[in-house]
């Protein structure tokens, strides 16, 4: 006979579901957005990422304490600077928002927290692109310049390592970013700083809520900004495998696939073909769709959160980056 789900046991039901797919607290990574604004506030005015905040530097320690209190010890830090410029100069400043936040968190929590920093320029450069652009002679937008971007990414990674990052996570999808960052870190004595490579990042409008928060003030075309010359096309699983293999050969300690739910076939395939530590990011649009549909009363928010994260784990992710991390942590004992 089919079991009837009664309200009192729904917590147990979700807890069991998480357990059945082998989900542990140490698998979960929580994204935090640190901002140069003087006070903390919600990520964006609309509700699409409700519950997520832009955290001002003065509030960083208190926020991280709350995360640690729930047994989550891995964070990925995204920076939201006040100003952009041509060349993304504030991305590599020792006084940048990611560097300052990392230093504060490490000073307070030391080894009890695992800090991953996003290494890219798109929040800092006036173009919104993840690579530097060469201007054409008529000053119109030109192509992305892979090599000069690699130099810049290496400097950013070093500045994060100096601030105390445990893992740097290059998200710009430039060719050769892992090997260049690895050798730059080694040359400065940061042999123990690890690299999580955003290896298979598919071009996607599912990044829009993230961009709305991090870009929209100055990049008005943030929704349609075309990154398909360096991010992967969804029809191309073989390219995903090639990118993953290249990053492993270049010295990545962990590879990463994003977005998540539309790409679980890729996750599962990579798990089977290449058994290597793999993180999967459940991105902003995936979070926003659940929230929006739940707000309309069309779906059960809690059930969707749990089943999304459980599905990613089931497909073979070792680590999961998700805005739902804190909602899921409550169902896990360890």
User: Residue 315: which of Zn ion, ligand PBG, none does it interact with, CB under 5 to 8 A by kind?
Assistant: none
**Smallest separation, CB 272 to ligand PBG (Å):** 26
Asked if 52 contacts 326 with a C-beta cutoff of 8 angstroms, the reply is no
For residue 211, state whether it binds ligand PBG (rule: CB under 6 A).
yes
Q: Is 201 a catalytic residue?
A: yes
- Considering only CA atoms, which of 92, 252, 90 is closest in space to residue 176? 252
Q: Which of 90, 101, 193, 284 is close enough to bind ligand PBG by CB under 6 A?
A: 284
Residue 251 is classified by DSSP as T
Residues 162-191 within binding reach of ligand PBG (CB under 6 A): 171-172
Instruction: Choose the catalytic residue: 227, 258, 291, 313.
Output: 258
The 165-184 contact track toward Zn ion, x by CB under 5 A, reads -------x------------
Residue in the structure block whose two tokens are 């000073």: 107
**Smallest separation, CB 110 to ligand PBG (Å):** 27
User: Residue 210: which of Zn ion, ligand PBG, none does it interact with, CB under 5 to 8 A by kind?
Assistant: ligand PBG
Phi and psi torsions of 319, nearest 5°? -125, 150
Phi and psi torsions of 144, nearest 5°? -75, 135
For Zn ion, how many residues bind (rule: CB under 5 A)?
4
Report the alpha-carbon distance of residue 30 to residue 238 in Å, rounded: 29
**Smallest separation, CB 123 to ligand PBG (Å):** 7
Q: Which of 52, 77, 283, 306 is close enough to bind ligand PBG by CB under 6 A?
A: 283
**Smallest separation, CB 312 to ligand PBG (Å):** 14
Structure tokens, 327: 């909602």
For the packed helices 146-163 and 97-109, what is the interaxial angle rounded to 10 degrees?
A: 30
Q: How far apart are the first and last CA of the chain?
A: 32
User: Residue 25: which of Zn ion, ligand PBG, none does it interact with, CB under 5 to 8 A by kind?
Assistant: none
For residue 255, the SS3 value is strand
For the packed helices 301-315 and 264-273, what is the interaxial angle rounded to 10 degrees?
A: 30
Which stretch, 105-113, 148-156, 204-212, 305-313, contacts ligand PBG (CB under 6 A)? 204-212
Structure tokens, 297: 């009363």
For residue 279, state whether it binds ligand PBG (rule: CB under 6 A).
no
Instruction: Choose the catalytic residue: 25, 104, 194, 201.
Output: 201
**Smallest separation, CB 210 to Zn ion (Å):** 10
Which stretch, 38-46, 81-89, 117-125, 185-193, contacts ligand PBG (CB under 6 A)? 117-125
For residue 117, state whether it binds ligand PBG (rule: CB under 6 A).
no
For residue 157, the SS3 value is helix
DSSP secondary structure of 257-324: EES-GGGHHHHHHHHHH--S-EEEEE-HHHHHHHHHHHHTTSS-HHHHHHHHHHHHHHHT-SEEEETT
Residues that bind Zn ion (CB under 5 A): 120, 122, 130, 172
Binding interface with ligand PBG (CB under 6 A): 118, 120, 122, 130, 171-172, 207, 210-211, 227, 283-284
Q: Which residues are catalytic?
A: 201, 258
């Amino acid at each position: 006979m089919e079991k009837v789900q009664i309200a009192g046991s729904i917590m147990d039901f979700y807890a069991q579901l998480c357990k059945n797919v082998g989900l542990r607290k140490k698998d979960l990574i929580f994204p935090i957005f640190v901002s140069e604004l003087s006070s903390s506030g919600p990520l964006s005015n609309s509700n699409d990422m409700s519950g997520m905040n832009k955290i001002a530097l003065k509030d960083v320690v208190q926020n991280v304490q709350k995360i640690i209190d729930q047994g989550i010890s891995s964070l990925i830090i995204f920076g939201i600077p006040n100003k952009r410029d041509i060349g993304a100069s504030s991305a590599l400043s020792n006084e940048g928002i990611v560097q300052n936040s990392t230093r504060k968190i490490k000073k307070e929590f030391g080894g009890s927290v695992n800090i991953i920093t996003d290494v890219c320029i798109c929040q800092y450069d006036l173009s919104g692109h993840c690579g530097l652009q060469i201007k054409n002679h008529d000053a119109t937008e030109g192509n992305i310049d892979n090599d000069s971007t690699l130099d810049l990414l290496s400097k950013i990674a070093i500045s994060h390592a100096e601030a105390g990052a445990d893992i740097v996570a290059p998200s710009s999808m430039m060719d050769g970013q892992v090997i260049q960052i690895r050798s730059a870190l080694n040359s400065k004595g940061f042999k123990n700083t690890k690299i999580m490579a955003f290896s298979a990042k598919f071009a996607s409008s599912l990044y829009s809520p993230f961009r709305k928060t991090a870009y929209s003030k100055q990049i008005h075309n943030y929704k349609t900004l075309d990154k398909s010359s360096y991010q992967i096309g969804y029809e191309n699983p073989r390219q995903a495998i090639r990118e993953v293999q290249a990053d492993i050969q270049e010295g990545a300690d962990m590879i990463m696939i994003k977005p998540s739910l539309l790409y679980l076939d890729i996750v599962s395939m990579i798990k089977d073909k290449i058994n290597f530590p793999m993180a999967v990011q459940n991105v902003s649009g995936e979070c926003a769709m659940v929230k929006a549909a739940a707000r309309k009363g069309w779906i059960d928010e809690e059930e969707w959160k749990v089943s999304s994260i459980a599905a990613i784990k089931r497909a073979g992710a070792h680590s999961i980056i998700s805005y739902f991390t804190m909602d899921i942590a409550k169902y896990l004992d360890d």
